[in-house]
A and B are shown apart, each in its own frame.
Chain A
Amino acid sequence: MKFLVCISLVPDTTTKISFVDNDTKFNNDKVQWILNPYDEWYALVRALELKEANGGNVTVVNVGPAENDQVIRKALAIGADDAIRIDVTGEADSYAIAAEIAAVAKSGGYDMILLGKETISYNGSNLGGMLAELLDLPFVSYASKLDMAGNTASIEREIEGGKEVLSVDVPFVISCAKGMAEARIPNMKGIMSAKTKPLNVVAPQGVGSLTSVVKYELPPAKGACKMISADHPEELIRLLHEEAKQI
């Protein structure tokens, strides 16, 4: 089975977010870029597990500049067989990224395209559904469990206050959430072999974005926390009712 895992680069979870150029651009200075955790922990690792169980090939694909290669190699170190980087250097929204990946995926003959439920930077949750539509494939989002029997997948998916169990035949697109797999730490052999695994750079189609970010903003600073004595917790309820007006 051929797996394609979409990987995105995001600022490390603990990054202090700030902006430059009059709040129009994310401040890249001193930012540590990592693989988007959901792409890495859930989508990539589950693809690797399925490949290890049933055979196949796992390709990772990223849209971005050459600076991304170092982080893409981490996906190879974890166990992906090869990587594709679509060489987009400027700004690209989720549609432009989806269209670039779809162009590559079309000729790849992939049975399954996996990605994380969202990126921790843009939190759009857009790419999976767009890819599915552009490739005319079924789409299952927020999957927490995926098992294969032949060409049929049995999937659990989160819904509000519960879960849904469904089945779908390959090929399909699936966005992955907690429960799919556990994070893997690359071992020394993986890190060494990643250096020689193929990382193919592909020229972009040049698909334009449909949206643009005009400005960023930080949330207003939180006021001081009002402390209430543990001897009079009922005071909290009074404040929530009379002051915060939330109950």
Chain B
Amino acid sequence: MAILFLVEIADGKVKKASFEAASYAAKYASQAGKEAVGLALGSIDDASLSALGIYGAKKIIHASNAGFDNFDASAYAKAIAEVATQISADTIIISQTLTGKAVAPVVSARLKAGIVSGAVGLPDADFVVKKAAFSGKAFAYVKVETAVKVVAVVPNSFGATKGEGSASVEASAIAPAASRVTVKEVSRQTGDVAPLPEAELVVSAGRGMKGPENWGIVEDLATALGATTACSRPVADVHWRPHHEHVGQTGVAIRPNLYIAIGISGAIQHLAGVNQSKCIVVINKDPEAPFFKAADYGIVGDLFEIVPKLTAAVKALKASQH
């Protein structure tokens, strides 16, 4: 039996979330005495796929038809369902990226396979999986009752574990079903940092910044840390920052290892999107800001003085590590 996981591709590279999906699939496979097999759809070189062996994948099936470069949830789901059936996979692991969120439920309905979406842990022997619920305010343990199962894993909840090895890559002639959705344009931030919600380190700022012209100190801290920048809703609403940076209930929900909130008071709607972060730092001039109640570390004071000092301290730390 095989565990099938989806390998997502962006700009010809494997997405970071797929390393984690590979680790998740491999850990569950070894626990269940099965084999982790990846499925990559679209254009990518085989060496990049083979490297997924580091995360425990044994084999990657590569359907390289360029038609898959045009993302259509139905076409992806049909291909995944077809391959799952071919290799008799009884579990399908999909990272809950925006691509995964679109595809996983279609696969579930197509195979009539029960789905756990928002998984934050491995299935146990009875296939009960822990998932986040109530916008981060609780967890649910969901049992999947069907023979074939779909698990959509929250990015950065499980982690990618590196080991040794390389995966064999097997070409597949599967072509996408005639697409009914035409992608006209894709615009994505460029650079080395991981996009939300895959980022492990996030530096986020809000109205306390007083204006978009002041964001330099936030970007400097993020750059020093190798972190991704984010922002609160009011700041995105007034176009101080781009919408894709907005984290919170109505924006992107994230679960980074470290979330640094600068000049954000911590309204319940903001917390709903970030409260699963492993470590939360709050910097705010108001000691009564509700965010401190959800934080691990806090500094009360003037962010315009504090943030540059943090950047300097991070640089000093990084310099001492070399």
Which residues of A are in contact with B by a Cβ distance under 8 Å?
A: 11, 13-14, 17, 19, 37-38, 93-95, 98, 120-134, 138-142, 144, 154, 157-169, 172, 177-179, 209-219, 222-223, 225-230, 233-234, 236-241, 244, 246-247
Contacts and interface: CB of A to CB of B under 8 A. Distances in A.
7 contacts: A169-B180, A210-B144, A216-B138, A216-B140, A216-B141, A217-B140, A246-B278
Interface residues of B, number: 97
B302 interface: yes
B143 A159 contact: no
B146 interface: yes
A148 B75 CA distance: 23
A166 B317 contact: no
Contact of B298 (A144, A223, A226): A226
Contacts of A211: 114-116, 142-145
Contacts of A11: 134
A237 B317 contact: yes
Given A120-B249, A165-B183, A225 B297 contact: yes
- Which residue among A17, A159, A211, A226 has the maximum number of chain B CB atoms within 10 Å of its CB? A211
B138 A94 contact: no
Contacts of A123: 117-118, 132-135, 253
A230 B195 contact: no
- Which residue among B110, B138, B143 has the maximum number of chain A CB atoms within 10 Å of its CB? B138
A124 B295 contact: no
B68 to A, nearest CB: 15
B181 A140 contact: yes
Closest 6 CB pairs of A and B: A230-B301, A161-B195, A129-B105, A210-B114, A162-B188, A234-B313
Interface in B45-64: none
Interface string B180-197: 111111111100000111
Given A162-B187, A178-B250, A139 B102 contact: yes
A164 B186 contact: yes
Contact of A141 (B102, B180, B243, B257): B102
Contact of B297 (A93, A144, A244): A244
B182 A168 contact: yes
B3 interface: no
B299 A233 contact: yes
A95 B139 contact: no
B155 to A, nearest CB: 9
Contacts of A241: 317
Contacts of B197: 160
B181 A166 contact: yes
A210 to B, nearest CB: 3
Given A13-B268, A160-B98, A167-B182, A132 B133 contact: no
Nearest to B132: A123
Contacts of A223: 296
Given A166-B184, A216-B140, A133 B297 contact: no
B244 A158 contact: yes
What is the predominant secondary structure among interface residues of chain A facing chain B? mixed
- Which residue among A168, A178, A214 has the maximum number of chain B CB atoms within 10 Å of its CB? A178
Contacts of A138: 72-74, 180-181
A158 B142 contact: no
A229 B180 CA distance: 58
Given A120-B134, A178-B250, A226-B298, 8 more contacts: A120-B272, A138-B73, A210-B112, A210-B145, A211-B115, A233-B306, A236-B310, A244-B279
Contacts of B268: 13-14
B109 A121 contact: no
A217 B99 contact: no
Contact of A94 (B105, B133, B294, B306): B105
- Which residue among B105, B184, B186, B300 has the maximum number of chain A CB atoms within 10 Å of its CB? B105
Nearest to B237: A178
A213 B181 contact: no
A139 B143 CA distance: 27
A168 to B, nearest CB: 5
Contacts of B296: 222-223, 225-226, 244
B297 A215 contact: no
B293 interface: yes
A162 to B, nearest CB: 4
Interface string B214-249: 000000000001000000000000000001101001
Nearest to B155: A160
Contacts of A240: 258, 279, 281, 297
Nearest to B129: A211
B15 to A, nearest CB: 8
Contact of A13 (B109, B251, B252, B269): B269
Nearest to A121: B134
- Which residue among A11, A161, A215, A236 has the maximum number of chain B CB atoms within 10 Å of its CB? A161
A161 B244 contact: yes
B243 A144 contact: yes
Nearest to B154: A123
B5 interface: no
Given A130-B109, A179-B243, A159 B99 contact: yes
A124 B117 contact: yes
A130 B150 CA distance: 13
